[in-house]
Structure 1
């Protein structure tokens, strides 16, 4: 209703008449929404669907006028379709304004993309969002340290579809008319640059801050890696009213994806299955309705004692989680730089970590802080774009919701979260957690037994040395020679015993892991069997009932 009937919006869809089976739901959903928009928009919105095949005049028009080219579909996606290149492009135009989606990918939310594109060409007033040009290089550019060209972060391109994006330099005063600011890894700024950001936040300007203790995209930007060159973050954290330990990395054993079991627990999956009281803050429109968010090597934030701020957790880790020090997880590489270690023991902590929070203060501070920067990586935009089955992460939705909320543009918050709600196999997750807890207990028991046996071997060595030292019938030189011989012999035995004990411990841990995975596979097989066997039963019973009801009708009349 806000569209001007004097400037109608024309939507042209260049669509292949035949598409692979995997793309058929996308095409049908898109065409259904176009018909709905055409009916509801009346004279304000017009739609035109152009059937397009390769080498046709329509294909030439799409390519030459709008740079819409066919998408080549791999053979695994064709599923019997004869075509291997499809058209699914959209052109939005209103007056002189034009916006093109060259290829409508499977993972894009149809209704949201259509509504946003209509608003773009309708020249609705755009708010201004600033992106601080930190050493994380959100706008890309040449990195003289690594001598490589970095690409622009995909979140910047995504924001340009809705906002006027302003590149904010860290060394000059920020534009006063920004509706919101995005700062990725501000801990990497210099001291004067950090002071300028702190002063800007103290004025009550809305901001989305990504504070990452271990940015996987560039480990050298870790605060712990900078050491003495790291700026003092205390004024910034005090202004925000939060505590953030820059050398603590949160981990969580919860992982609802069997195909991703090889990932380390520092890849944190936030979802309702992680047993946290409230993984997503249901009272905040930014996170209410989200289903799953993934963070990579995140940190934890907490309210500062006596700060007097309104601290609202938005994302929390699960019950089976904890934290490691940066020095336990990262080691310097012999070739320079740093490398991340794997296979580190993980002991769950007593507190559930807050991974993201909204902070408001009487002084005017209005910010959303996420203790991670990797969750906005290119891979999550690619997963969303391609619509990979089973990986329906809400990372992009969370980012756009947070910026919308801060900038005061809430028109898309509810629309963006409209998608099918996927339920996990709760019984399987429950059994998996039980097996994992059993394995952890067995691992801890094996490690404790190994430690005890090593201490006993060391005690025997110490006792033998003390017995020789107590003998009065030996002169000093003989005593030292005998002690040295005993120490050498006992050390050899100790080394052999240590190797045997470690082998036994490793075998016990491996057996526990194999037993856990075998048990989980058994549960999965049972669920698959039930999924195949149960559906035909109602039809079979109905057939028997109908057959029995028809039996009397076949008897001859007496």
Structure 2
């Protein structure tokens, strides 16, 4: 064989080997990946593998995706690739339990009729054709559960949503959760777009039952109950909750010493605090009389002073970071963002011998206490900091009570059921013919998660109004708690993987340093400006009392000169304040310019220099 023939044959063999290696790598290495994201967003979690590998029967997930239409929308197209990639990995890691199919429905076809009948939603496009992007899940007995539309805003919860769907297909009956609350915003069922975010998310995993305010008997088929800022409970209602706990019930209880949500919606004349009556004695829980404030973890709030926007920490609204959360309890161990509280109380629990209390969330050591009456007022941060007296130790904001409890009621003082005379009202109470026997001591371990604030359920405290997404982990905490109490505990670890909004720590540090450096000068100038403007108003009032229309004509010469001087002083002070604000931005602007240079200009400059060096080096070699 000649050299040319050998070269040709070797080239063909190399091409065949290259193609074979690519095919082998596609099959063998497709699951391999290097995930450099902070919270390992692109790595299938152990909890997801646990759920998918332990299915009692295979399930099928159908990805309905209008791929051609999605090509016109970069966000949808990128998210479609992410969904397809994750579905492929779930299927590969499920030991054959999860089968994936994909459908690209054309308009006016049987496929489109089938998916619309299933309940999938479409997004409108400029061409008028519907864009479908959802999931239809099926199990072997033809149960069907859907995700109507995969919204890119929920990308952080994509793995949770898919694995939850798989878990529901394996056991289609959702847990039933009863809600007792006096908060009007939490009286829905999560099916309305105006319902709070927490209710809407709960409706995806649980069957919600609103327990009426006049209940006398709790439903017996509840998997868990939520008691969120309850109304004043009657003795009969307290007894029902007491017995629910003794029967090993699971509950999330959120009480409040001064509910800001109630204050905003109903005013000061409404009861702002909440309690459980004799049930607190059953649990060994002290009433919430004080409000916790904490200047170290206060939420930033804005105020307008002298026409200027000022941002400062509000000690009444606190945001404990993940460092102030339990790392051993599944409800909080993987939360990655702070939880926002509003006028929270402190939890002090002394449970009986057969029960225990473990803190879940707590303040810093710099916390202080104020009365609930003071906590229910609109106080500025400076008002709270004037007489701030730090306790010197952290205060518990949320905790877990678990174990066995003893009833506060005896068999002789069981509150009777009051049956209305109206037969219709009596029927609505759903009172069973045979009531369970009274328990003096627990027959099973109870699990109770206590929270000292009901405001953390309110959207205003943690939902970003710009995109209706959480800016803090309030919802993740509550939903983790309900999954732990009534649902699949494996899902807790999945929901908690939502990535935190990563702040620019260096810029924040520079801003704090500049604020500390210039705060004193700013305060002096603001005081001078306030005094100057007050004197100007006084001079104007004197002129107005004289009945003149043009102050500059009618004021005497001394007053006119004084007003002109004060106006000049006010202009000068405002200029100096603007200079301070520019100083706040100067270092940050310089850092921004350096970042732009290193990210946008330096790489092409280095590439060009490297190319020039290579050309110069090759030219010198040829010259030799």
Q: Does 1:89 align with 2:141?
A: no
- Which residue is equivalent to 1:370? 451
Report deviation, 1:183: 0.8
Contact 2:336 2:498 in 1 (8 A): no
Q: SS of 1:553's equivalent?
A: helix
Residue deviations 1:360-417 (CA, integer Å, cap 9, x gap) = 36654642222332333356897599575xx643222211111222337311122222
Cα shift readout 1:25-58 (whole Å, capped 9, x = no counterpart): 3221111122233444575433332224666664
User: Which among 182, 189, 198 is matched to residue 155 of structure 1?
Assistant: 198
- Identify if the C-alpha distance between structure 1 residues 48 and 135 changes in structure 2 by more than 3 Å, giving closer, same or farther: same
Query: What's 1:396 paired with?
Result: 475
Q: Determine if contact 1:286/1:402 at 8 Å carries over to the other structure.
A: yes
CA, structure 1 residues 343+420, in 2 after alignment: closer, same or farther (shift >3 Å)? closer
The alpha carbon displacement at 1:113 in A equals 0.7
Matched positions, count: 474
Give the one of 6, 10, 17 matched to 2:68.
Answer: 17
The CA distance in 1 between the partners of 2:82 and 2:528, in whole Å, is 60
Higher RCO, 1 vs 2 (CA within 8 Å, ≥6 residues apart): 2
Shift of 1:427: 1.9
CA RMSD, Structure 1 to Structure 2 (Å): 4.9
Find the aligned partners of 1:290 and 1:512 in 2 and give their Cα distance: 44
- The alpha-carbon deviation at position 263 of structure 1 amounts to 9.1
Match of 2:149 in 1: 103
Q: Does 1:67 align with 2:107?
A: no
After TM superposition, the score normalised by the length of structure 1 is 0.67
Which runs of no fewer than 5 residues in structure 1 stay unpaired? 74-80, 142-148, 332-339, 451-502
For residue 299 of structure 1, report the CA deviation from its aligned partner: 0.7
SS, match of residue 89 in structure 1: strand
User: Helix, strand or coil for the counterpart of 1:173?
Assistant: coil
- What do the CA deviations read for 1:292-348 (whole angstroms, capped 9, x no partner)? 2442523131335798875443334467876665555656xxxxxxxx566763416
Partner of 2:492: 413
Distance 1:85 1:379 in 2: 34
SS at match of 1:360: strand
Per-residue deviation, 1:184:
0.9
Report the 3-state secondary structure (helix = DSSP H, G, I; strand = E; otherwise coil) of the residue aligned with 2:450.
Answer: strand
1:123 matched to 2:171? The reply is: yes
The corresponding residue for 2:401 is 360
1:3 alignment partner, one of 55, 58, 66: 55
Q: Give the 3 Å change call, closer, same or farther, for CA 138–518 of structure 1 in structure 2.
A: same
2:35 alignment counterpart:
none
C-alpha separation between the residues in 2 aligned to 1:432 and 1:237?
Answer: 46
**2-side partners of 1:90 and 1:402: how far apart?**
26
- In the TM superposition, 1:151-230 aligns within 5 A as 153-169=196-212, 171-176=215-220, 178-186=222-230, 188-192=231-235, 195-196=238-239, 199-200=242-243, 203=246, 205-219=249-263, 225-226=269-270
Pairwise CA distance, 1:285: 2.0
Partner SS, residue 76 of structure 2: helix
Q: Kindly indicate whether the alpha-carbon contact (under 8 Å) linking 1:105 and 1:385 is maintained by their aligned counterparts in 2.
A: no
What secondary structure does 1:140 align onto?
A: coil
State the Cα deviation string for residues 119-155 of structure 1 (Å, max 9, x = none). 22333565443322545463339xxxxxxx9965553
Kept after mapping to 1: 8 A contact 2:88/2:100: yes
Offset, 1:514? 5.8
Aligned residues of 2:137 and 2:169 also touching (Cα < 8 A):
yes
- 2:314 corresponds to which residue? 265
Q: CA deviation at 1:424?
A: 1.8
Match in the other structure for 1:487: none
1:224-266 deviation per Cα after TM superposition (whole angstroms, max 9, x unaligned): 8546x97775644443435523566667544499xx9869836
How has the CA–CA distance of structure 1 residues 202 and 306 changed in structure 2, closer, same or farther, with 3 Å as cutoff? Answer: closer
Report the Cα offset of residue 182 of structure 1: 1.0
Name the CA distance, whole Å, in 2 between partners of 1:304 and 1:136: 29
Structure 2, unpaired ranges of 5+: 1-52, 303-308, 406-445, 530-566
Q: CA separation in 2, counterparts of 1:241 and 1:110?
A: 39
- 3-state SS of paired residue (2:249): coil
User: Structure 2 vs 1, CA of residues 223 and 541 (structure 1 numbering), >3 Å: closer, same or farther?
Assistant: same
Distance in 1 (alpha carbons) for counterparts of 2:299 and 2:466: 25
Corresponding residue of 1:314: 360
- Give the alignment partner of residue 547 of structure 1, picking from 612, 616, 621: 612
Q: Which digits, 9 at most, give the CA deviation of each residue in 1:473-504, with x for residues without a partner?
A: xxxxxxxxxxxxxxxxxxxxxxxxxxxxxx9x
Contact map agreement 2:364 2:395 (CA 8 A) in 1: no
Equivalence for 1:241: 285
Q: What is residue 348 of structure 2 aligned with on the other side?
A: 303
TM-superposed CA distance for 1:205, in Å, is 3.0
Give the 3 Å change call, closer, same or farther, for CA 241–534 of structure 1 in structure 2: same
Please, what TM-score do these two structures have when normalized by structure 2? Answer: 0.61
Q: What SS is found at the alignment partner of 2:383?
A: coil
User: Contact 2:232–2:274 (CA<8 Å) still a contact in 1?
Assistant: yes
Q: Name the CA shift for 1:217/1:60 in 2 (closer, same or farther; >3 Å).
A: farther
Which of 590, 605, 611 does residue 526 from structure 1 map onto?
A: 590
Judging changes above 3 Å, is the alpha-carbon distance between structure 1 residues 193 and 294 closer, same or farther for their aligned structure 2 residues?
Answer: farther
Partner SS for 1:285: coil
Bigger Rg, which one: 2
